[in-house]
Amino acid sequence: MSGRDERDQRGTAGPPGRWRRPDASMSLLADLFEGRLADPGYAEAAARRRAAGNAPAPRRLRALVALSLLLVGVLLAVAGAQVRRGEPVAARQRARLVDEIHTRTAETDGLARRLDRLRGETARLRAAALARSAAGRRADRDLAAAETAAAARPAAGPALVVTLDDAHRAGGGGAGDEDGRVYDQDLQILVNGLWAAGATAVAINGLRLTPTSAIRTAGEAVLVDYRPLTGPYAVTALGDPGRLRAAFTGSAADQRLAALRDRYGLRYGVAAAGSVRLPAAAPSAPRYARPAGEKRK
């Protein structure tokens, strides 16, 4: 066996018969891991600190660590109990607010129906009074045209119904839900597209729109003339369904809604309706008025 082979078997280049550890060059690291210090000065300094009482005893240190962990555990348990106790209270308060909203909404709807009946009775009495003279009949025709333009009279006929609703979310929650919601600007674009397509009257979920109607968002609710509406949103446009569909298909509004449907799962559908009746819109108070015949200054 050659000398190189023998050194290779012994793992060192030292003289024959003497074996050295492979980690002999890492003796300092080995001493540190095994708890030994080669320099006696380290041991002497440690002994002086223990004698002077500067270094805490291992038992005392372990006791302090255990006490700290115990305090942290108690604080976490108390915080968790407070959160669990607060959840039922918040749920009850939310349920009470939801019930109150439903009650107030039902009262408002009842008052709106009563207002419609009174408005219809007033219109009949007014028409009967104006029909007694030629001037009154001309005034009634002019008033009818103005009320129709202001959505102050009921309207009926065939219609095109466009439905929008939030996207289905199988997992529930998540940032994607925000993208799949119907926002006020989506309804604004849809309504403007239907007007541009030739609709003679438009309503959202049965709420008639006027030329000055406002569609806004408050929190997660869509407000139409300050009344909250919930999905699905059925936008009804009076007019010939075939002509309306032909004019609306491919418009900017149709392209936007189709893109939202394809990208975020927004539910979007168009259907024709044979006969629909839309109620009159709530009258708005005039901002400026002057007696008939008075000249403007």
Instruction: Give the chain as a 3 state SS string.
Output: CCHHHHHHHHCCCCCCCCCCCCCHHHHHHHHHHHCCCCCHHHHHHHHHHHHHCCCCCHHHHHHHHHHHHHHHHHHHHHHHHHHHHHHHHHHHHHHHHHHHHHHHHHHHHHHHHHHHHHHHHHHHHHHHHHCCCHHHHHHHHHHHHHHHHCCCCCEEEEEEEEEEECCCCCCCCCCHHHHCCCCHHHHHHHHHHHHHHCCCEEEECCEECCCCCCEEEECCEEEECCEEECCCEEEEEECCHHHHHHHHCCCHHHHHHHHHHHHHCCEEEEEEEEEEEECCCCCCCCCCCCCCCCCCC
Tell me the per-residue pLDDT of 278-292, one tens digit each, with 9 for 90 and over. Answer: 988 876 666 666 666
More confident of the two residues 263 and 180: 263
Q: Which amino acid is at 36?
A: R
What's the confidence (pLDDT) of residue 103? 87
% of residues, the chain, pLDDT over 70: 70
Determine the average pLDDT of the residues in 95-110.
Answer: 84
Cα-flanking dihedrals φ and ψ of residue 56, to 5°?
A: -65, 145
**At residue 219, does pLDDT exceed 80?**
no
Confidence grade of residue 16 (pLDDT, cut at 50, 70, 90):
very low
Confidence of residue 38 (pLDDT cuts 50, 70, 90): very low
In sequence order, the β-bridge partners of residue 233 are 164
Is 70 exceeded by the pLDDT of residue 28?
A: no
Q: What is the pLDDT of residue 65?
A: 78
In this structure, what is the dihedral angle of CA atoms 164, 167, 172, 178, given to the nearest 10 degrees? -80
Least confident of 3-12, 121-130, 141-150, 259-268: 3-12
Q: Worst-scoring range by mean pLDDT, 20-24, 127-131, 191-195?
A: 20-24
pLDDT digits (tens, 9 = 90+) for 41-87: 656 666 666 665 554 556 667 777 778 888 888 888 877 777 766 66
Whether pLDDT at 195 is above 90: yes
Task: Please check whether residue 202 is in contact with residue 195, taking contact to mean a CB–CB distance below 8 angstroms.
Answer: yes
What is the model's pLDDT at position 226?
83
Domain locations along the chain: 156-278
- Check if CATH label 3.30.70.1880 holds for domain 156-278: yes
Rounded CA gap, 280 and 275, in Å?
16
The pLDDT-based confidence of 193 (bands split at 50, 70, 90) is: very high
Average pLDDT, the chain: 77
Region 137-145 average pLDDT: 86
| In the predicted structure, residue 134 carries a pLDDT above the cut 70 | yes
Residues 172/156, Cβ–Cβ less than 8 Å:
no
The pair of three-digit structure tokens given for residue 42, joined into one six-digit string: 């380290």
> Does 169 or 218 have the greater pLDDT score?
218
| Res 235 pLDDT > 80 | yes
The whole-angstrom separation of Cα 212 and Cα 151 is: 10
> Which of 50, 20, 52, 26 lies closest to 38 in space, CA to CA?
26
